[in-house]
Every structure is written in C-alpha cells, then in structure tokens.
Amino acid sequence: MTEPIEELSRLCIHTITTKPWSLEEALDQYTARGIRAMSVWQNAIESMGAVKAGERIRQYPMEVVSYVRGGFFPSISLSKRQDAIDDNKKLLEEAAALGAPLLVLVCGADSGQSLAKSRKQIREGIEAILPHAESLGVRLGIEPLHPMYAGARSAINTLEQANDLASFIESDLVGVVVDVYHLWWDMHLKRQILRSGLEDYLFAYHICDWKVPTEDMLNDRGLMGEGCIPLRQIRGWMEEASFDGYHEVEIFSNRYWSMNQAEFLDQIINAYLNHA
C-alpha cells in the first residue's frame, strides 16, 4: 500500500466525481494514490447497502468525511414533506452505518410556493430530524446552492442564509458546508466564512471550478484551475476561520465522466496540488 503523501493528507474525493467507478474501484484507485478520505454519494452504495459498504470501506485506510446527500424538505404537498423527513431519517441511519460523521443537506425548494415558505419548511425539516441525528451522533451540514438553483433545488443560496439558519436552530450538530462552486461570487463570502468559523459551523469545504462558459447547469463543473474561482483566496479565508478539515473535490461533469477515470484522478491530484 502506498504511503500517504503529506500534500494529499487533506484531500478528499467525492465518489460522484468518479461516478463511473463502483465503490470498490474508487477505494482501490484512491488509496493506491495515497488518498485517505472520501465522501460517499448514495448512488455509490445503492447496490450493496450502507452496512456492507461501511464494512468494505473499513477494510481500507480510508476515512469517510460525509454522506451525500439529504435534504429536499420543501414541498407544497404535506405528505411529500413527511416523506422527505422519513427519507432523511433513513439517510442518517445509512450515514451512521457508513461511519460518516456528517450528512450533507441540499435543502430543496418548490417552485409552486415562495422561497420564504420553502425556507420555513427547510427549517422545520431540519428540526424534525434533529433528534434522530442526535441519537446517532451524525451532524447536519446546510449547503447553500448557487442562486441558479433557487427554482427547484435550494431556497438557501448564500452562506449568510445558511449561517442564519444554523444560528436559529442552535445545535452543535447543525452547521454549514462551503462549496466554492455555489458561493464564489458573493461579495460577503469572506465575512460569512469568518462568522461560520467563530460560531463553529464550518463542517465541510467543497472545491472544483466555474467554467466560462458553463454549458450545463448541473454537470459541467471544472477542475481546479480551469475556471474563474479564486480558490487560493477562499482557502485562505477558510484557514483564517480556523477550518482544519478536508478539501473535498466534488465535480459533476459529463465531459470528465466520459474519459478514463484513472487518468482523470491523476489530473485531479495535479490540479489540487497546483491550484487549490
């Protein structure tokens, strides 16, 4: 087994980044390159289930940083809101089985109602699953999404909104996820990152790049250094806020998923070392 390289000690890869690989392939390929942390997406464990996946992962020198992703609380339908709460409780149990200390929340939105109403339902959803999270010891990370997703994917679009929500709920288990793809444009980002740090809300840090032009709203994220996000500056703010967790590479890209994934992973490491 390759010894971890010091420079990669804080590198974490989301399994969705190398979506064509099975969980086993990802574990083999990541660890062979000295990567010691991964965030697990639901689709990667669908076939074997969380318990088996957790057992498999523990056979490797691999830390699970988070389980991705829960949330999607708002709906104009009461029964759908209840289904979302039940789903999230199940996801929390899967996170615990995987050994993931954090469930990442893509909060959701319903275009049939106002953003304010969706935000209220997000808060109610988090409050409803919080006792379950507490009993399992799994944290909840509110991930603000870029405003282009406000129609259907998330009514939480700035770090300020995520901080406000965490502050309102006031639990050690509820914090925020800073994803550069969603937040890089915000003129208040530095101030809000420092605030997250002061409040102990900084649960996770996701990196990639914003390509110009972006050809697909979901699946055209860039490799670090390929776009216009000031990655080193934002990393500096995270460090100033005393964040000492992993740098998680999360790239959805039809272009990269169609190439040889081993070569792509080498490119990720190179981009991480040179640009992140």
What is the distance of C-alpha 49 from the center of its chain? 20
* 247 is an interface residue for Zn ion by CB under 5 A: no
Whether residue 39 contacts residue 62, with contact meaning beta carbons closer than 8 Å, is answered with no
Q: How far apart are CB 261 and Zn ion at their closest, in Å? A: 20
Tokens read off for 7? 């420079």
Q: How far apart are CB 139 and Zn ion at their closest, in Å? A: 15
* Nearest partner of 88 among 122, 65, 54, judged by Cα: 122
* Residue 178, strand partner residues: 205
Hey, what amino acid is at 215? Answer: E
* Closer residue to Zn ion in complex, CB, 179/186: 179
* 250 is an interface residue for Zn ion by CB under 5 A: yes
- Token pair 């789903």 is found at 87
* Count of positions on this chain that bind Zn ion (CB under 5 A): 3
Q: How far apart are CB 10 and Zn ion at their closest, in Å? A: 16
Measured distance CA(12)–CA(21) in Å, rounded: 16
Q: Of 33, 81, 206, 211, which lies in the binding site for Zn ion, with binding defined by CB under 5 A?
A: 206
Measured distance CA(227)–CA(79) in Å, rounded: 42
Q: How far apart are CB 43 and Zn ion at their closest, in Å? A: 15
Tokens read off for 181? 């793809």
* Residue 12, strand partner residues: 248
- Options 69-77, 201-209, 237-245, 252-260: segment touching Zn ion (CB under 5 A): 201-209
Measured distance CA(173)–CA(105) in Å, rounded: 13
Q: How far apart are CB 273 and Zn ion at their closest, in Å? A: 21
* 110 is an interface residue for Zn ion by CB under 5 A: no
Whether residue 231 contacts residue 224, with contact meaning beta carbons closer than 8 Å, is answered with yes
Q: How far apart are CB 39 and Zn ion at their closest, in Å? A: 9
- Options 4-12, 50-58, 176-184, 255-263: segment touching Zn ion (CB under 5 A): 176-184
* 209 is an interface residue for Zn ion by CB under 5 A: no
- Options 121-129, 165-173, 204-212, 237-245: segment touching Zn ion (CB under 5 A): 204-212
* Closer residue to Zn ion in complex, CB, 34/70: 70
* Residue 13, strand partner residues: 38, 249
* Nearest partner of 66 among 15, 13, 102, 34, judged by Cα: 102
At residue 102's C-alpha, the angle toward residues 15 and 170, to 5°, is 150
- Options 19-27, 74-82, 86-94, 175-183: segment touching Zn ion (CB under 5 A): 175-183
Q: Of 179, 203, 265, 268, which lies in the binding site for Zn ion, with binding defined by CB under 5 A?
A: 179
**What residues between 124 and 163 interact with Zn ion by CB under 5 A?**
none
- Options 115-123, 145-153, 186-194, 202-210: segment touching Zn ion (CB under 5 A): 202-210
Binding site for Zn ion (CB under 5 A): 179, 206, 250
